[in-house]
């Protein structure tokens, strides 16, 4: 039902005439009539709330969103399927002859690579659907051939961790990261790969910084100038994770030193690479400086660095997920400087870049709702909030 007709219906239920309703709103009868006929649209959140107050309903009911949005229900059901897949322990039970047989390692590797591509394009609903089956597939591949299957298990749980962090499923993400770390034990490169996602999960744990550094320096080349780019990228990514942990824990000096060290490695790797699914390079380190500044409360620096970083041509070379996630960080920085207008602008930009980054991350949905409540909120952010069922 269009919102105007819903207003008319609820007004009639309250036995309010158009004139009485208009008087209580401080509007004209003509204004009410145009709203109810759909001639005039309702876009400002403050007006919608005023109408809901007069009609004695909440805004969600007025907007016809008095049930949980379908995408939220689907996300929760998808997480439940991932949890169930992680509870089967097929590797321990040793079931290589499961229904449908075991895929050859080469095909499983393509499936894992597809999952990573799906994640980096921020197609989170599709990835939620893929992961339960993929986890079962890599478990069976490992049971059939542990040597060939181990890297597949590590990569599958890395991408699972990355997704679960996005969805604010931190306990399940920690379990997935731990599975990746356990599978990687004994192989320093696999262990370093798994540690990148572990750092994402344990961002608020000061002790985790030592884990990142240990993993980084185990693979650090003796001579950085002649180091293998994939190893340097992985090492630099771990330093970035260590820096972000330091920033989250309030250690600005350690964060700055680690990011400077990572920047030196990034300069050697160059732009446009995605070794070990890290997208590591100079621009990625600059975006990490923004994230660190936000965590440390240095919002003016965060905003300045953000505006400079997105002016680089190399900004567009980063994965879609990486760019959208950065825009969310930038929105936090703008909000912390009481600049709701620019916060709304970059959130709209993030939605255009990767809709799932806005629509499927609980923390980001809350941010959209917060920005939309501002009295000067733009029509665009209000409409986005309405479309997400947040008002």
Indicate if 264 and 294 belong to the same structural domain: yes
Indicate if 175 and 208 belong to the same structural domain: no
Position 184 scores a pLDDT of 96
Give the CATH number, domain containing residue 51. Answer: 1.10.260.40
Position 97 scores a pLDDT of 46
Position 387 scores a pLDDT of 78
DSSP state of 269: H
CA gap 347, 40 in Å, rounded: 26
Task: Look up the domain containing 344 and give its range.
Answer: 334-391
If one counts every other C-beta atom within 10 angstroms of the C-beta of residue 259, the result is 24
* SS3 call for 205: coil
CA gap 101, 91 in Å, rounded: 15
Position 6 scores a pLDDT of 84
Of the candidates 120, 117, 193, 124, which has an alpha carbon nearest to the alpha carbon of residue 154?
193
Is the residue at 79 inside a domain? yes
Indicate if 236 and 265 belong to the same structural domain: yes
Q: What is the pTM of this model?
A: 0.82
CA gap 271, 284 in Å, rounded: 9
Is the residue at 191 inside a domain? no
Q: Which residues of the chain have pLDDT under 50?
A: 67, 97-98
User: 154, 183, 212: which is the final residue of a domain?
Assistant: 183
Position 65 scores a pLDDT of 59
Position 8 scores a pLDDT of 87
């Amino acid at each position: 039902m269009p919102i105007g007709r819903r207003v008319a219906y609820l007004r009639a239920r309250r036995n309010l005439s158009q004139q009485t309703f208009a008087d209580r709103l401080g509007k004209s009868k003509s204004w009410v009539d145009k709203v109810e006929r759909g001639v005039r649209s309702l876009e400002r959140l403050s007006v919608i709330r005023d109408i809901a107050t007069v009609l004695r309903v909440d805004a969600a009911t007025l907007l016809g969103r008095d049930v949980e949005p379908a995408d939220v229900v689907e996300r929760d059901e998808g997480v439940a399927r991932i949890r169930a897949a992680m509870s089967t322990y097929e590797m321990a039970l040793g079931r290589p002859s499961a229904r449908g047989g075991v895929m050859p390692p080469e095909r499983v590797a393509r499936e894992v690579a597809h999952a990573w591509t799906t994640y980096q394009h921020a197609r989170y609903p599709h990835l939620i659907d893929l992961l339960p089956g993929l986890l079962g597939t890599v478990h069976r591949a490992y049971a059939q051939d542990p040597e060939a299957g181990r890297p597949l298990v590590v990569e599958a749980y890395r991408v699972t961790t990355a997704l679960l962090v996005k969805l604010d499923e931190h306990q399940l993400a920690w379990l997935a990261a731990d599975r990746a770390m356990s599978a990687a034990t004994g192989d320093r490169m696999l262990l370093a790969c798994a540690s990148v996602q572990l750092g994402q999960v344990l961002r608020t744990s000061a002790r985790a910084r030592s884990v990142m550094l240990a993993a980084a320096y185990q693979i650090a080349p003796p001579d950085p100038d002649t180091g293998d780019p994939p190893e340097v990228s992985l090492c630099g990514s771990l330093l970035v994770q260590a820096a972000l942990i330091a920033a989250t824990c309030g250690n600005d000096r350690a964060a700055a030193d680690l990011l400077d060290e990572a920047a030196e490695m990034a300069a050697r790797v160059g732009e446009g690479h995605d070794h070990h699914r890290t997208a590591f390079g100079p621009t990625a380190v600059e975006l990490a400086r923004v994230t660190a500044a936000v965590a440390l409360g240095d919002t003016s620096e965060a905003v300045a660095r953000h505006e400079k970083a997105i002016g680089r041509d190399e900004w567009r070379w980063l994965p879609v997920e990486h760019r959208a996630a950065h825009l969310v960080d930038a929105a936090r920085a703008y909000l912390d400087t009481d600049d709701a207008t620019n916060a709304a602008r970059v959130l709209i930009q993030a939605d255009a870049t990767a809709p799932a980054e806005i629509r499927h991350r609980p923390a980001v949905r809350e941010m959209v709702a917060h920005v939309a409540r501002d009295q000067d909120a733009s029509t665009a952010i209000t409409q986005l909030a309405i479309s997400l069922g947040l008002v």
